[in-house]
Each structure stands twice: as C-alpha cells, then as structure tokens.
Chain A
Amino acid sequence: MKNIKAFLTAFVLFLLTAAGIHAAAAKGLPRYNIRIGTWIEPSKFVCTNGLAQLLGGENAVAVFGSSELRHGQNTEFGGNSIFRDSDMDPVYIGQAGYQSLTHAITAGALGETLSGKKAVIIVSPQWFKDGGVKKSAFGSSFSEDAFLTFLKNDKLSGETKQYVIERARELAADNSALLEKIETDIELCEGGIHKEGMSRLREFLVKERTDTGLFLKAWAGGKLNQEKGQQREIDWDALYVEAVESGKKIADNNAYGMLDAVYENQYRDLIEGDGVKKPAYRVDSKEFEDLECFLKVCTENKINVLLVMLPFNGYWYDYLELDKTEREALYDRTKELAKAFGVSYADLSPNEYEPYYFEDNSHPALKGLVDMNEQIYRFYKELEE
C-alpha cells in the first residue's frame, strides 16, 4: 500500500515535470535568426513545429536542398553571410542524402504554413541515379513527425498521399523497425474515429521528442536569441567581383574547375590512380517521379516554387565520360517537369565550364554560390512586387 501511494505520488510529480519540460520546449522553439535559418541540423529538419515557427514570418523562404546547403557556409559567399541582415529570411531544409521524396513529405507537413508563400528546391543532377534516392539516405532523413503531419494534411489528394506511402514502404522494405513505424502511422491515420485517440497520443509523443530535441540542440549550440542587425542591401555585383578575386587565388591551378586545395587533397590521386567510374544517371530515374510528387504537393498546397537546376562540373564529368548529351537530357527532363507544373525555373546548367564556379565535382563555390543565392533572392523579390 505504501509503495502504491509512493508510486502514484511520484507519477503525479513526474507528470508535472514533464508538463514543465513540454512548456519550456514549446516556448523555447527557436525564433528566426540567420544562424538558425541556415543551420544544417537534422533535429531542425525533422521538427515540423520548429520549421513552422521559422517559416511563419513574412520574409521567410523555405529552401529545400541537399549537400550544397552546407558547402560555403561561413565564407562570404554562403547564404548565412549574404542574407545576414537582409530583407529575406531563408530557412534551409536538407543536407547530404535529402532528396525530392523527403522534401515532398516535409512540404506536405508544412502545407498550412507554406500556403501562399515562397519555397525553393535546389535540384542536384546527381540525384538522378539509376534507382533514385538510396534506401539508407531516405531512412536516415525520415521524420516520423513530418510523415504523420503529412498524412493528416487535408489539402493533399489521396493520389499524392498514396504515392508517398508506397514509396516510403518501398524504401523502408529492408529496415523492419522503420517499416513498422511507417505502417503503424499509416494505420493510425487511416483508422478513422476509433483510432483517433491512439493517433493523437502517438503524434503527441513524436512531436514531444522532436520539439524537445530541437530546443535542446539550439540551446546547447547557442543559436537562440540572436538579434538582427540593421537591414542592409545586398551588393551582388561586388560579390561577383570578390568571388573572381578569390577564385584567382584559390581556384586557378587545376584543369577541373575546382578549388585548388580540394583538387590536391581529394581528386589528384583519384585521377592519377584512375579510381572513379562513370556514374549512372538516367532520364528514367525514379527521382523524377519523386520530384513530380514534390511539385504536386506544392501545387495542392498553393506553395509558390522556384526550382534551381544546379550544373554538373563539365570538366569533371567529361573526364568521367558522362558526355554532354546525357547531361543535357537530364537538364531537359527537369525543365519539362518545371514547365508542366508552371513553377519558376532557374537554369544554372549553362555554367558547367564557368571559372570559379565549383568547389569540387558538384558543389557550387565562389561565383556558383553567388549565382545560386542571387537566383533565390530575385525569385523572392519578384513575387513581392
């Protein structure tokens, strides 16, 4: 009897503490500042409440991408430098391994927040591999928070949801723990009124994890409570001049259009040892269907989209014998898709041989970063006018 009383008393105290943690995390979800906005951190990407808060402001733009979002950070050409104290608040969503399907789920989860707003998807041609996104990439980027919220979005058509469900099942087929999670979420969301209670409880627990995870990471990383400085204009011309000046110093001594240090450390030995094969990128890659799904999600939620098509590093892919015709075919297919959905399209593909454009075989640097960020900014301003 004494133990039961102690147990119940402890449980009540625990509930009070948990409620306190919940309130602190909910109140402590980071408000927008450029460091949080451009922060490459999975705990941010999986937290729909956190992303919704960051994207709630009138100057917010969701920027969906992959590994290029991390490259160039903390140089003067990265988004976190260019857009500091500007009139645009970019919210980066993605890192290596994030591709169209993951972004479709996140965009669908944020449908209400993003409706009528601007969003950008930066498409890397390297996404269009033979089998589309890798299972391990999808699994490691999967957010149950976003998936549950996606499934509950009434604006999405049954067809779009079914496509995502089937793809999620397919990509989780070799991961029984992930597949079970996905199936449980689907069952609860489709379960109707008799499963409403369980569905809400599961959603509560999932969001409790993601909200607290983001709050703790942001707090530990000193990313809360950053004041904005005085608003300033972005001088794009000056940035291009600076990029060229930097490029002459750090990217002028290799035949592959890369930064010299990157070439020396990562590529020279590879090339000399003939250690890289021609990649298999295909116009019938499953990734195109996933990209189509992302565009459908945005259309159904009335999200205004800019698709930025990044270029291949022409020198590198010539070396790998992925010839220009094959590369052009991928660009053309992406352009057709953008046109079919009536979304804005920033075509950076003509820059395959542009000097001081690339860090390595694929990621933009220097002029490439300035160009990519300028395209995003021009899209943002156009819709404002």
Chain B
Amino acid sequence: MNRFIVFIKNWKNSERLAFAGRVLVFYLIFMALWIYFLISKDSSAPVFIYEQF
C-alpha cells in the first residue's frame, strides 16, 4: 500500500508520467470505442423467429 501511495505521489510530481497517464487514458477510450464498433451486434437487425410450420 505504501509503495502504491509513493508511486501515485511520484506520478503526480513527474510530468512525464502524468503525460503517459493522459495518453493511456485517451488510448483506452479510443480502443474501447473501436473494439465496441468491431464486435457489437448490428442494432438494425431484427429478431427473426423461425417457424417450422
């Protein structure tokens, strides 16, 4: 826990780490949106219920 707190303090005090953190956040948002676009179900496709008779 202490190490984590120290890490966060270092992050806040370091410009490079802060920049990397911002890049990571934006990157994850882009990737989440892109992956969602690639694998989400087509919202315009209706449900088809197969009737054998």
Query: Do A and B bind?
Result: yes
Partner-B contacts on A (CB < 8 A): 2-3, 5-7, 9-11, 13-14, 17-18, 21, 67, 96-97, 134-137, 139-142, 144, 175, 177-178, 180-181, 205, 208-209, 212-213, 216, 266, 270, 276, 279, 360-362
Is B7 part of the contact surface with A, judged by Cβ < 8 Å?
no
| Contact assessment for B38 and A213 in the assembled complex, using a CB-CB cutoff below 8 Å | yes
A134 to B26 CA separation, bound complex (whole angstroms): 44
Given pairs A6-B22, A136-B46, A180-B44, 16 additional interface contacts (CB within 8 A): A9-B23, A9-B26, A10-B30, A13-B23, A14-B30, A96-B48, A136-B48, A140-B45, A140-B47, A144-B42, A175-B44, A177-B43, A181-B44, A212-B38, A360-B52, A361-B53
Tell me the bound Cα distance from A135 to B48 in angstroms. Answer: 9
B39 pairs with A10, CB closer than 8 A? no
> Residue-by-residue, is B10-45 near A (CB-CB < 8 Å gives 1, otherwise 0)?
000000001100111111011100100111001111
Name the A residues within 8 Å of B38 (CB-CB). 21, 208-209, 212-213
Tell me whether B45 and A97 are in contact (CB under 8 A): no
Q: A279–B53 contact, CB under 8 A? A: yes
Q: How far is the CA of A96 from the CA of B48 in the complex (A)?
A: 9
Whole-angstrom CA separation of A364 from B44 in the bound complex: 33
Give the distance in Å from the alpha carbon of A2 to the alpha carbon of B23 in the complex. Answer: 10
Q: Which residues of the partner chain B approach A213 to less than 8 Å between Cβ atoms?
A: 38-39
CA of A299 to CA of B34 in the docked complex: distance in angstroms?
40
Decide: A7 near B26, CB < 8 A? Known: A140-B47, A177-B43, A213-B39: yes
Query: Can you pick out 24 interface pairs between chain A and chain B where the beta carbons lie within 8 Å of each other?
Result: A2-B18, A3-B22, A5-B19, A7-B22, A9-B26, A10-B23, A10-B26, A11-B30, A14-B27, A14-B30, A67-B50, A97-B48, A136-B48, A139-B48, A142-B44, A142-B45, A144-B42, A175-B44, A180-B44, A205-B37, A209-B38, A270-B53, A360-B52, A362-B52
Bound form: Cα–Cα A3–B22 in Å: 7
Complex Cα spacing A139 to B19, Å: 47
C-alpha gap A205/B18 in the complex (Å): 33
Query: When the two chains form their complex, are residues B39 and A134 in contact, meaning their CB atoms are under 8 A apart?
Result: no
Nearest to B24 among chain A residues (CB) is A10
Residues of B within 8 A of A (CB): 18-19, 22-27, 29-31, 34, 37-39, 42-50, 52-53
When distances are taken between beta carbons in the complex, the residues of chain B under 8 Å from A276 are: 53
Which B residues lie within 8 Å of A212 (CB)? 38-39
CA distance A362 to B52 in the complex (A): 8
- Expressed in whole angstroms, the minimum distance between the Cβ of A102 and any Cβ of chain B is 11
**CB closest chain-A residue, reference B15:** A2
Verify B37–A209 contact, CB threshold 8 A: yes
List A contacts of B23 (CB < 8 A). 6, 9-10, 13
Bound-state CA distance A140–B45 (Å) is: 5
Tell me the smallest distance from the CB of B5 to a CB of chain A, in Å: 24
The residues of B that contact A18 with a CB separation of less than 8 Å are: 34
Bound together, the chains give a CA A137 to CA B25 distance in angstroms of 42
Shortest 8 CB-CB distances between A and B: which pairs?
A10-B26, A6-B22, A177-B44, A140-B48, A14-B30, A10-B27, A96-B50, A178-B44
Distance in angstroms between the alpha carbons of A14 and B23 in the assembled complex: 10
**Interface hub of A141, A177, A205, A276 (most chain B Cβ within 10 A):** A177
A134 to B34, CA, bound (A): 33
Report the separation of the CA atoms of residues A67 and B52 in the bound assembly, to the nearest whole angstrom: 10
Partner among A6, A67, A279 whose Cβ is within 8 Å of the Cβ of B26 = A6
Of A7, A141, A266, chain B has the most CB atoms within 10 Å of the CB of: A7
**Bound CA–CA A12/B7 (angstroms):** 27
Complex: A10 Cα to B30 Cα, angstroms = 8
Output the nearest chain A residue to B18 by Cβ-Cβ distance.
Answer: A2
Tell me the smallest distance from the CB of A346 to a CB of chain B, in Å: 24
Cα–Cα distance between A17 and B24 once the two chains are bound (Å): 13
Closest beta carbon of chain A to B21's beta carbon, Å: 8
Q: Are B44 and A6 in touch, CB under 8 angstroms?
A: no
B17 to A: closest C-beta gap in Å: 12
**Nearest CB of A to B42, in Å:** 8
**Chain A: which residue is nearest B49 at the CB level?**
A136
